[in-house]
């Protein structure tokens, strides 16, 4: 991330706009006077100089960066720990999960809200949503968990979300933390079912972070639930590491600076939005919208849009898009907005086009394209085309290597290495683990997750 | 000794009664079980119905926001999209104009998600969004508010049931708002209990019988699910199910067995009662006999003296037949003879009961014996106007016990005097066949009913009151007659006759 930031500063973008906006609508009691906007908006284009007289493609990158947060200012969290206690959790996994949950709870402050939900075939609300002040009771509830039964994952998440909903409030970080080691087999259990549930929850401001434990869980389902709800996802092969991930998640959650981020791009004349790379977004006509449930301190979230430019005359300046973002300021609990725009100038000088290329945007584009190919390789492998999948991954690695040579970006080199490793583990007992790793990395890159 | 003979029919009757009781008990128990089961079902179904109502309320609660959403429909697609984006449990909607053309999402610019929505909701709108009530429309609500401008619409696509809210706007436009399927499921689950131990194992199943949600105590063994409550419309294809093992089962069975046990107890109780009753009757009769027996012994000697001196007096006085004194004396003699027979009978019966009856066979001429006995009865028979007809063909002596044979004849003739005087005729015959002596005593009285032919020989048996009214007797005359005849290797039988009765006495007595 640091390297990327360094690159960004090195390549001064054409049109950078940062507008700290005025508060528009209150969405909660005014608590503290904001010290400054928690988010900064930056818009860049891959080719600030576009080739004149021809149809061309450009990438628009809109970045939102969270301001660093003082420790004292951390927002309260409202979290439901949803723990799989199906038969497969029996033994060490259950013990570690309990330890991790107890440790996580012990780190909560009294103004935080926590609930504990377990599920197997049925769902139990062990501790309804409550302030994390009486920790002994919560610890007792966790210690009473005994593994056994099937996996009603959908119901577990639903009930966990219902507990979060009891104290649902903008200004809190509302989150369901799902831990599962198995395949959902009671109730709705397809990735689409769970994804749709996540998409609905995030519209209320509830994200679902999913922890896949061991090698038996359904990574498609767990990543889709996290993706649609803008939560995090982790593949935790060894239960001994659970505690560390609980810490990571709660630490991250406590670092949210902005919530309910709505980002909108309206493309200008002669600009056709083709696709959004990475995160889910809606393209309707010439407008593009996406939303993020939260942005963390020091996190940069971006939207990468591929556009098609109709031929332009030399020296013509064309606005590619106007950008607007609205979000909830967690510190001040006020709804704020940011806006900016991005433009290109057409030129007949091909060399100038090449020289002016924004490498940071291009690197992002390469990352996302490589990521999509990586996901495509998984689908091929799922169909049984091992050979074809391997070939695609190797091509992807070679392509990344080319781009690394060109842009000198360490992130591309890492991606190249990942793809080579993926290509070598498409068969045998390695494949299950590798698939989980691939899904995890794909999601992390797609949503620019913190871990 | 009537009770032992009555025991069989009584047992049969008791068995029949028991059978009836058991049958009725079974019927009643079955009826009771069905009733208890129905009641139990109603009671155990109540919580499920409560849950179903809770889910129904969820949808009722959805109506107001949906009406608000569709009431003032934004004019531009962007504004409508902004509003839909704020929806938590709905995300997509379509608007059709009065002609049924889809105007939103606009064909010119649709997001991929909108296109997907139109595709999956096609079953809901492809046949038009006109006001005709879908089959699953909430009929009750529709009847209450016939002018209602909205209805639920369900359709099936992909994973299963989808639910939409269809609104007819005053300007003729129609709006279909899709309720997010996953969210609907999650909200339905939220209305159902979570904690395991509170309720028995229950489940929410979808239209294909797949589990959507499971709650309640874990099942120890999969039981047949007999409780089935559909959710209210429009989700009536989803069902709440629960296994039900009626506790009434055990209860009813217990009741049934208790009923049978009670019936059996009643049966055996009845038998015991009958047994004790009959034993008591016999005991009482025996006590009576014993008492009479002892008294009779005491009476026998003075009576013998009375009789002897009365007969002596009759001979010594030599009165003319018309003399009233002679007539009076005749009565004294006849009555003392009757008393003697009575006492002899009682003593003989008592001996027979103690198995002490023995014969003292001496050469006896049957004809003479018959004449002697009939002679003794002459005054009594005359007094009742009974004509006597003798047919005597056994003039040679036979080895018989004259006292016993006399007692047999006396009892038979005494019966004619007592019961058959209405026939005004007595026939006595005697004949011999090889070493057997046959005596017959016939009358033209009321006779003996066919059903009572054997019964008359039982001790203490007397025919109905009509026959015995005003007649004294111990009820052991025929019993003793038969007993004595059988001691002679013969019997006393009642021969079938057209009128009256005819007793035949068979005696084995070799020529002496």
Tens digits of residue pLDDT in A296-339:
988 999 999 999 999 999 999 999 999 999 999 887 778 899 99
By CA distance, what is A190's nearest residue in B? B159
- Residue A15 has a pLDDT of 36
Mean pLDDT of B364-385: 88
Tell me which chain B residues have a C-beta less than 8 angstroms from the C-beta of A162.
186, 190
* Contact flag B182-A186 (C-beta cutoff 8 Å): no
Mean pLDDT of A405-427: 94
Mean pLDDT of B80-95: 91
- Whether A344 contacts A47, CB under 8 Å: yes
Tell me which chain A residues have a C-beta less than 8 angstroms from the C-beta of B87.
203
Q: How many CB pairs under 8 A join A and B?
A: 102
pLDDT(A9) > 60: no
- Residue B472 has a pLDDT of 55
Mean pLDDT of A128-133: 90
- Residue B24 has a pLDDT of 81
Are residue A370 and residue A343 in the same domain, yes or no? no
User: Of A217 and B147, which is predicted with more confidence?
Assistant: A217
Structure-token match 């600076």, residue found: A257
pLDDT(B10) > 60: yes
Percent of chain A topping pLDDT 70: 91
Q: How far is CA A206 from CA A160, A296, A412, B132, B333, in A?
A: 10, 15, 33, 39, 129
- Residue B299 has a pLDDT of 79
The residue from A357, A379, A403 where one domain ends is A357
In a domain, A111, yes or no: yes
Q: Given A125, A186, A289, which is nearest B194 (Cβ)?
A: A125
pLDDT(A230) > 70: yes
Are residue A161 and residue A239 in the same domain, yes or no? yes
* Contact flag A200-B85 (C-beta cutoff 8 Å): no
pLDDT(A24) > 60: no
Q: How far is CA A198 from CA A190, A205, B89, B337, in A?
A: 12, 10, 11, 123
In which band, very low, low, confident or very high, does the pLDDT at B3 lie, cut at 50, 70 and 90?
very low
* Contact flag B195-A194 (C-beta cutoff 8 Å): no
Distance CA A231, CA A226 (A): 4
Q: Does B216 touch chain A (CB under 8 A)?
A: yes
- The domains found in chain B, sorted by start residue, are 279-356 (1.10.287.130), 358-512 (3.30.565.10)
- Residue B335 has a pLDDT of 82
pLDDT(B142) > 70: no
- Residue B477 has a pLDDT of 84
For residue A66, which of A37, A99, A107 has the smallest C-alpha distance?
A: A37
In which band, very low, low, confident or very high, does the pLDDT at B251 lie, cut at 50, 70 and 90?
low
- Residue B41 has a pLDDT of 78
Are residue A347 and residue A427 in the same domain, yes or no? no
For residue B482, which of B454, B510, B449 has the smallest C-alpha distance?
A: B454
Structure-token match 């009151």, residue found: B465
* Crossing angle of the two packed helices A386-407 and A410-424, in degrees rounded to 10: 160
In which band, very low, low, confident or very high, does the pLDDT at A31 lie, cut at 50, 70 and 90?
very low
* Closest CA of chain B from A193, distance in Å: 6
Percent of chain B topping pLDDT 90: 30
Q: Does B391 touch chain A (CB under 8 A)?
A: no
For residue A14, which of A51, A58, A50, A48 has the smallest C-alpha distance?
A: A48
- Residue B247 has a pLDDT of 57
* Contact flag A196-B218 (C-beta cutoff 8 Å): no
Are residue A98 and residue A182 in the same domain, yes or no? yes
| Signed CA dihedral, B316, B320, B322, B325: sign only | negative
In which band, very low, low, confident or very high, does the pLDDT at A217 lie, cut at 50, 70 and 90?
very high
The residue from A336, A357, A378 where one domain ends is A357
- Residue B16 has a pLDDT of 85
> B303 phi and psi, to 5 degrees?
-70, -45
- Pairing state of beta strands A233-236 and A207-213? parallel
- Residue A166 has a pLDDT of 92
- Residue B196 has a pLDDT of 61
pLDDT(B30) > 90: no
Q: How many of the other CB atoms lie within 10 Å of CB of A78?
A: 27
User: Of A147 and A222, which is predicted with more confidence?
Assistant: A222
DSSP A369-396: HHHHHHHHHHHHHHHT-HHHHHHHHHHH
Q: Which two tokens stand for residue B58?
A: 């969820």
The residue from A337, A357, A377 where one domain ends is A357
Domain span at residue A430 reads 361-446
- Residue B221 has a pLDDT of 59
Tell me which chain A residues have a C-beta less than 8 angstroms from the C-beta of B186.
154, 157-158, 161-162, 197, 200
User: Of A215 and B271, which is predicted with more confidence?
Assistant: A215
Q: Mean pLDDT lowest for which of A117-121, A348-352, B452-456?
A: B452-456
- What digits encode the pLDDT tens for the residues B421-469? 888 999 999 999 988 999 999 999 888 888 888 888 887 766 654 444 4
pLDDT(A388) > 60: yes
Tell me which chain A residues have a C-beta less than 8 angstroms from the C-beta of B218.
121-122, 149
Tell me which chain A residues have a C-beta less than 8 angstroms from the C-beta of B91.
199-200, 203
Mean pLDDT of A408-435: 94
Are residue A97 and residue A201 in the same domain, yes or no? yes
Distance CA B226, CA A369 (A): 56
pLDDT averaged over every residue in chain B: 82
Are residue A181 and residue A316 in the same domain, yes or no? no
Q: Which two tokens stand for residue A304?
A: 């990468």
Tell me which chain A residues have a C-beta less than 8 angstroms from the C-beta of B190.
158-159, 162
Residue B78 CB contacts under 8 Å (≥ 6 apart), including other chains: A287
**Complete edge-to-edge strand list for the sheet that includes strand A207-213:** A123-131, A113-119, A77-84, A173-180, A207-213, A233-236
Q: Would you call B344 helix, strand, or coil by DSSP?
A: helix
Mean pLDDT of A180-204: 91
- Residue A73 has a pLDDT of 66
- Residue A16 has a pLDDT of 35
Mean pLDDT of A225-241: 93
User: Of A268 and B144, which is predicted with more confidence?
Assistant: A268
> B375 phi and psi, to 5 degrees?
-55, -50
> B83 phi and psi, to 5 degrees?
-70, -40
CA A140 to chain centre: 33
- Here the CATH number for the domain that contains residue A184 is 3.40.50.410
Tell me which chain B residues have a C-beta less than 8 angstroms from the C-beta of A159.
189-190, 194
* Contact flag B183-A197 (C-beta cutoff 8 Å): yes
In a domain, A451, yes or no: no
Q: Within A90-241, where are the H helices?
A: 92-106, 135-143, 153-166, 191-204, 219-229
- Whether B407 contacts B480, CB under 8 Å: yes
Q: Given A152, A196, A283, which is nearest B111 (Cβ)?
A: A283
- Residue A276 has a pLDDT of 95
* DSSP conformational letter for B424: -
Mean pLDDT of B310-315: 83
* Crossing angle of the two packed helices B366-383 and B324-353, in degrees rounded to 10: 120
* Contact flag A282-B111 (C-beta cutoff 8 Å): yes
Are residue A269 and residue A370 in the same domain, yes or no? no
pLDDT averaged over every residue in chain A: 88
- Residue B2 has a pLDDT of 45
Total domains in chain A come to 3
Tell me which chain B residues have a C-beta less than 8 angstroms from the C-beta of A157.
186
Are residue A124 and residue A213 in the same domain, yes or no? yes
Residue B283 CB contacts under 8 Å (≥ 6 apart), including other chains: none
* Contact flag A154-B185 (C-beta cutoff 8 Å): yes
pLDDT(A19) > 60: no
* Closest CA of chain B from A392, distance in Å: 27
- Residue B291 has a pLDDT of 75
Measured between its terminal Cα atoms, the distance across chain A in Å is 12
- What digits encode the pLDDT tens for the residues B180-214? 999 999 999 999 988 766 778 888 999 988 899 98
Q: How many of the other CB atoms lie within 10 Å of CB of A30?
A: 11
Are residue A239 and residue A95 in the same domain, yes or no? yes
Distance CA B71, CA B83 (A): 13
- Residue B267 has a pLDDT of 77
pLDDT(A2) > 80: no
- What digits encode the pLDDT tens for the residues A34-76? 467 889 999 999 999 999 999 999 999 999 999 887 756 678 8
DSSP B34-55: HHHHHHHHHHHHHHHHHHHHHH
Mean pLDDT of B320-339: 81
Are residue A304 and residue A402 in the same domain, yes or no? no
- What digits encode the pLDDT tens for the residues B477-495? 888 899 889 989 999 999 8
In a domain, A427, yes or no: yes
| Signed CA dihedral, B452, B453, B456, B457: sign only | negative
pLDDT(A242) > 80: yes
Are residue A411 and residue A307 in the same domain, yes or no? no
In which band, very low, low, confident or very high, does the pLDDT at B286 lie, cut at 50, 70 and 90?
confident
In a domain, A107, yes or no: yes
Q: How many of the other CB atoms lie within 10 Å of CB of A388?
A: 14
- Residue B334 has a pLDDT of 80
Most confident of A142-156, A407-421, B252-266: A407-421
Q: Given B81, B110, B215, which is nearest A122 (Cβ)?
A: B215
pLDDT(A125) > 70: yes
- Whether A261 contacts A64, CB under 8 Å: yes
- Here the CATH number for the domain that contains residue A305 is 2.60.40.3670
Are residue A208 and residue A301 in the same domain, yes or no? no
């Amino acid at each position: 991330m640091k390297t990327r930031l360094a690159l960004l500063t090195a390549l001064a973008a054409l049109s950078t706009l940062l507008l700290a906006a005025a508060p528009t609508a209150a969405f909660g009691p005014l608590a503290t006077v904001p010290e400054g906007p928690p988010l900064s908006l930056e818009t860049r284009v891959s080719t600030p100089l576009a080739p004149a007289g021809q149809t061309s493609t450009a990438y628009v990158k809109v970045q939102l960066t969270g301001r660093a947060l003082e420790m004292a200012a951390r927002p309260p969290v409202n979290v439901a720990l949803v723990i799989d206690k199906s038969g497969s959790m029996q033994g060490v996994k259950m013990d570690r999960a309990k330890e991790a949950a107890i440790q996580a709870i012990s780190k909560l402050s009294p103004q935080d809200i926590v609930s504990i939900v377990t599920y197997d075939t049925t769902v139990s609300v062990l501790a309804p949503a409550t302030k994390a002040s009486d920790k002994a009771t919560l610890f007792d509830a966790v210690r009473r968990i005994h593994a056994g039964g099937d996996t009603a994952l959908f119901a577990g998440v639903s009930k966990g979300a219902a507990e979060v909903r009891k104290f649902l409030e903008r200004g809190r970080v509302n989150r369901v933390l799902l831990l599962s080691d198995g395949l959902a087999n009671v109730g709705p259990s397809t990735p689409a079912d769970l994804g749709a549930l996540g998409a609905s929850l995030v519209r209320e401001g509830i994200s679902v972070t999913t922890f896949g434990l061991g090698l038996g869980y359904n990574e498609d389902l767990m990543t889709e639930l996290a993706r649609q709800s803008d939560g995090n996802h982790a593949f935790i092969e060894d239960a001994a590491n659970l505690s560390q991930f609980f810490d990571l998640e709660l630490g991250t959650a406590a670092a949210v600076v902005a919530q309910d981020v709505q980002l909108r791009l309206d493309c200008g004349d002669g600009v056709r939005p083709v696709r959004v790379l990475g995160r889910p977004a809606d393209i309707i006509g010439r407008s593009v919208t996406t939303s993020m449930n939260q942005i963390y301190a020091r996190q940069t979230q971006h939207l990468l849009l591929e556009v098609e430019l109709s031929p332009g005359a030399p020296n013509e300046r064309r606005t590619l898009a106007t950008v607007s973002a609205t979000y909830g300021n967690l510190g001040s609990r006020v709804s704020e907005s940011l806006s900016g725009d991005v433009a290109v100038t057409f030129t007949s000088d091909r060399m100038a086009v090449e020289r002016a290329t924004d490498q940071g945007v291009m690197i992002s584009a390469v990352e996302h394209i490589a990521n999509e190919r990586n996901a495509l390789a998984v689908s091929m492998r799922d169909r049984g085309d091992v050979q074809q999948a391997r070939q695609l991954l190797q091509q992807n690695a070679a392509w990344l290597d080319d781009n690394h040579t060109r842009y000198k970006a360490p992130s591309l080199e890492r991606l190249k290495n990942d793809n080579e490793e993926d290509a070598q583990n498409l068969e045998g007992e390695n494949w299950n683990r590798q698939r989980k790793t691939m899904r995890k990395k794909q999601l992390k890159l797609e949503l620019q997750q913190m871990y | 000794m009537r009770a032992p003979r009555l025991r069989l029919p009584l047992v049969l009757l008791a068995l029949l009664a028991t059978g009836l009781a058991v049958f009725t008990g079974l019927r009643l128990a079955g009826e009771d079980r069905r009733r208890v089961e129905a009641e139990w079902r109603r009671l155990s179904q109540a919580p499920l119905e409560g849950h179903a109502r809770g889910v129904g309320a969820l949808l009722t609660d959805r109506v107001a926001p949906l009406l608000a959403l569709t009431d003032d429909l934004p004019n531009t697609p962007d504004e409508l999209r902004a509003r839909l984006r704020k929806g938590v449990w709905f995300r997509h909607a379509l608007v059709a104009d009065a002609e049924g053309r889809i105007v939103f999402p606009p064909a010119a610019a649709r997001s991929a998600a909108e296109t997907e929505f139109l595709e999956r909701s096609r079953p809901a709108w492809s046949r038009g969004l006109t006001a005709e009530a879908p089959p699953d429309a909430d009929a009750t609500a529709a009847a209450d508010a016939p002018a209602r401008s909205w209805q639920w619409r369900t359709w099936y696509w992909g994973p299963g049931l989808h639910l939409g809210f269809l609104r007819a706007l005053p300007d003729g436009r129609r709006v279909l708002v899709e309720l997010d399927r996953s969210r609907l499921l999650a909200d339905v689950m939220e209305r159902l209990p979570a904690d395991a131990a509170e309720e028995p194992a229950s489940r929410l199943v979808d239209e294909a019988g797949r589990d959507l949600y499971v709650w309640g105590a874990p099942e120890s063994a999969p039981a047949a699910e007999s409780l089935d409550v559909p959710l209210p419309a429009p989700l009536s294809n989803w069902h709440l199910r629960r296994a039900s093992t009626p506790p009434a089962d055990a209860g009813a069975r217990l009741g049934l067995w208790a009923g049978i046990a009670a019936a059996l107890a009643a049966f055996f109780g009845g038998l015991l009662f009958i047994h004790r009753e009959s034993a008591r009757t016999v005991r009482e009769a025996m006590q009576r006999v014993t008492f009479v027996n002892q008294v009779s012994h005491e009476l026998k000697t003075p009576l013998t003296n009375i009789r002897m001196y009365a007969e002596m007096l009759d001979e010594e006085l030599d009165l003319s037949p018309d003399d009233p004194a002679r007539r009076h004396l005749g009565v004294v003699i006849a009555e003392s003879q009757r008393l003697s027979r009575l006492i002899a009978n009682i003593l003989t019966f008592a001996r027979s009961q103690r198995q002490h009856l023995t014969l003292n066979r001496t050469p006896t001429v049957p004809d003479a014996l018959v004449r002697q006995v009939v002679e003794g009865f002459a005054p009594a028979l005359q007094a009742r106007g009974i004509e006597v007809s003798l047919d005597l063909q056994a003039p040679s002596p036979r080895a018989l016990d004259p006292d016993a044979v006399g007692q047999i004849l006396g009892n038979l003739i005494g019966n004619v005097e007592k019961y058959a005087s209405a026939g005004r005729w007595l026939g006595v015959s005697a004949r011999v066949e090889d070493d057997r002596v046959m005596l017959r005593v016939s009358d033209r009285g009321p006779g003996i009913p066919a059903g009572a032919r054997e019964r008359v020989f039982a001790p203490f048996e007397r025919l109905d009151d009509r026959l015995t009214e005003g007649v004294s007797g111990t009820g052991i005359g025929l019993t003793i007659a038969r007993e004595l005849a059988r001691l002679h290797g013969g019997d006393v039988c009642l021969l079938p006759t057209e009128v009256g009765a005819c007793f035949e006495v068979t005696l084995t007595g070799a020529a002496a």
